[in-house]
Structure 1
Amino acid sequence: MIIDIFGAGAIGLLFYSKLISSHSSATIHLWTRISEQASLINEKGITIQTSTIEQQSEPQLLFPSTTQRAYAIDQLNDYSNVTKADYILVTVKQKDITADLVSNIQQRADRHTRIICLQNGVRTDMLWTSPWQVYAAITTEGAKRVSTNAVNHTGIGKTVIGSLTNLSSTRVGNMPKSIDKEEQLRIQPLLNELEQAGFDIALSNNIDKDIYRKLIINAIINPLTAIWRIMNGELLVSQQRLFVMQQLYNEVIEVYQAAGIEVSSLWWEEIVEVCRTTSTNTSSMLADVLQGKTTEIQWINGSIIQMGQDYGIPTPANYWVYHLVEAMNRQEDH
């Protein structure tokens, strides 16, 4: 079995390091954006440490075997004759899924390859052409990239994989696309490898609901922590902050209901619990702002705004946090 991972940020490094630490018999390729990172991992190893409320571990230094190497994406042409991947995990951020990246990924894919995309926000997977078996995945695993070859596992979560009903629009309402028994058999070997590596992973026949559940969590926690420059847990320290969170929450729920998206009365409590269990975490959006990188605000709150426009629901709270973060993007870039 050959598993390729495209993207060596926090989530990519987490999946890669846990797979190689599980003594997997699979061939694992990690594809990085720059050659220096690939060389460092191959020569100096990769360090993983678990730092969660439930568990603290000492840093573990792992050295990739000859079948678990890291490669730079610009080296793809040198490996055109290497057997294609059975599974490809795409762990880059939504903003980095470009036509060029998709073209690069497809060099490692054959018709039997299953491509699993782990991104936040409403998807724009129409870049993938029809022959490819592309799946969406949502993970609540927490990870922080400490350096180019070190990652902290900051939160134990769950990963679900499923088939999307609508790849190119924020309009929803189609029936969920279930995964048939034949397809379950084809993807089960990957699930087995990830379970052996310590991941809680499952197939979903309603990945759309999982995506919109993750979206509402991100639409509240990410922009507010980025604007206020605080850790996740600090969102809960005052009634004023909870009030702002509630305004965003109510607005997203109204949009979802207008769009016919199934909502849960438990989501608010779940958001509060996420803030508690990841209290010392820096959200990915805050990390991007602090590093002067472009954020995923367009695919998170921007998606809510677009859905509101599609269904005639005003979204002033999302509008303001969207533009505040966008303004920081531009400020940080200059």
Structure 2
Amino acid sequence: MEIVVFGAGSLGSLVGGLLAGTHDVTLVGRSAHMRAIEADGLTVGGAVETTVRPRTTTDSEGLSGDVVLVTVKAGDTATAAEALSTGSFNTVCSLQNGFTEETLVAELSVPVLAGTVTYGARLREPGHVDCTGRGTVTLGPYTEDSAADDAAAAERAAAVGEAFRAADIETDVRENMAKQRWEKLAVNAAINPVTALARVENGAVCEEPLWPVARRAARETAAVARASGVDLSDDTAVEAVRTVAASTAANRSSMLQDVDAGRVTEIEAINGAVVERGAQYGVDVPTNRLLTALVNGSKPR
């Protein structure tokens, strides 16, 4: 399968690197990283060790492939969608944080898949990405309607799932991702800002004094999901947080990495999205509102 990874940072490089051992992969990313890969290949270390030689480019326009995996930061989705509209793809699959699929659907005329990834990734240096923990990719047709049925998107999701499995990536294909998207948002809303503010690895979220804060953030997210028509219980959301935090205990969340590096975080796309939709559906989310304010006001050390 011809696969384009649009936004080859840490996660994009890891997923693209794993896929490149089996498929025809093109990475789209920053110049220093792309030059290093072109010169010496992409080294994957940590829980998975391999060196692959995917194609690379820094030119985001006029791309083509069977599927494009979008792994840019949530705030860059509109720019990515505009660039991708100049190319040719059969399928677009978001592996991003937040509810970015709506932006892709509005700009692109091909089936859009929603995806979640629990692999841990850290870009060590240009040309080298570490897998800090194996996980699962879950993907399926994007829709806000839990009862919607799109045969074309389901067929594309099955094909992409098979491509991932062929590259030894544990993959779960769902008929509908509405509940999964909200569950993912609950996990991110609980883990990312708490680890970023406390400067701790993911596993610490399940311990005192952080666990009550993370638990409240997840429960509030589940309440907003239910108000929007998605059946996500508090217990399911909280257990998902506990499971992901435990399975990625040694990982440094992407938000913690962003805060430490002085980069813009995805807080508005995660907890900010809970706040925004909570207001839309009349659900009070004080923990998510506080976490959003604290991360927006934090400074790198």
Query: Matches of 2:126 and 2:135 in 1, distance apart?
Result: 23
Task: Give the 3-state SS of the residue equivalent to 1:86 in structure 2.
Answer: strand
- The verdict on how the C-alpha distance between 1:178 and 1:205 changes in structure 2, with shifts beyond 3 A counting, is farther
Letter in 2 for 1:123: T
TM-score (norm 1): 0.82
Q: Once the two structures are superposed, what CA deviation does each residue of 1:78-130 show, in whole Å capped at 9, x if it has no partner?
A: xx5x8x3111111112111123x2232233315xx211111111235335435
Is structure 2 residue 74 aligned with structure 1 residue 134? no
**Would you say the 8 A contact 1:176–1:205 is kept in 2?**
no
TM-score (norm 2): 0.90
Q: How far off its partner does 1:35 sit?
A: 2.4
Query: Matches of 1:107 and 1:16 in 2, distance apart?
Result: 21
Partner residue of 1:114?
91
- The verdict on how the C-alpha distance between 1:73 and 1:12 changes in structure 2, with shifts beyond 3 A counting, is same
**Would you say the 8 A contact 2:3–2:65 is kept in 1?**
yes
Partner residue of 1:71?
57
Partner residue of 1:144?
122
Is structure 2 residue 188 aligned with structure 1 residue 218? yes
Letter in 2 for 1:91: T
Query: Matches of 1:27 and 1:294 in 2, distance apart?
Result: 32
Task: Give the 3-state SS of the residue equivalent to 2:45 in structure 1.
Answer: strand
- The verdict on how the C-alpha distance between 1:179 and 1:160 changes in structure 2, with shifts beyond 3 A counting, is farther
Task: Give the 3-state SS of the residue equivalent to 2:65 in structure 1.
Answer: coil
Larger radius of gyration between Structure 1 and Structure 2:
1
Task: Give the 3-state SS of the residue equivalent to 1:29 in structure 2.
Answer: strand
1:272 to 214, 223, 242: 242
Is structure 2 residue 12 aligned with structure 1 residue 12? yes
Structure 1: which 5+ residue stretches go unaligned?
Answer: 52-56, 167-173
Partner residue of 2:46?
50
2:290 to 320, 323, 328: 320
Query: Matches of 1:214 and 1:30 in 2, distance apart?
Result: 25
Structure 2: which 5+ residue stretches go unaligned?
Answer: none
Q: How far off its partner does 1:260 sit?
A: 2.6
Is structure 2 residue 138 aligned with structure 1 residue 160? yes
Query: Matches of 2:240 and 2:163 in 1, distance apart?
Result: 29
Q: How far off its partner does 1:155 sit?
A: 2.3
> What fraction of aligned residue pairs are identical, expressed as a percent?
28
Larger CA deviation: 299-308 vs 148-157: 148-157
Partner residue of 1:260?
229
Letter in 2 for 1:133: P
**Would you say the 8 A contact 1:176–1:207 is kept in 2?**
no
**Would you say the 8 A contact 2:112–2:153 is kept in 1?**
no
Q: How far off its partner does 1:70 sit?
A: 0.9
- The verdict on how the C-alpha distance between 1:177 and 1:200 changes in structure 2, with shifts beyond 3 A counting, is farther
Task: Give the 3-state SS of the residue equivalent to 1:146 in structure 2.
Answer: strand
Letter in 1 for 2:93: I
Letter in 2 for 1:103: E
Partner residue of 2:27?
30
Partner residue of 1:199?
169
Query: Matches of 1:254 and 1:187 in 2, distance apart?
Result: 28
Letter in 2 for 1:14: L
Larger CA deviation: 139-148 vs 300-309: 139-148
Task: Give the 3-state SS of the residue equivalent to 1:202 in structure 2.
Answer: strand
**Would you say the 8 A contact 1:225–1:231 is kept in 2?**
yes
Q: Once the two structures are superposed, what CA deviation does each residue of 1:232-281 show, in whole Å capped at 9, x if it has no partner?
A: 1122332x322222322332233233333211433323322322221111
Number of residues of Structure 1 aligned to a counterpart in Structure 2: 299
Q: How far off its partner does 1:221 sit?
A: 0.6
Partner residue of 2:65?
85
Task: Give the 3-state SS of the residue equivalent to 1:3 in structure 2.
Answer: strand
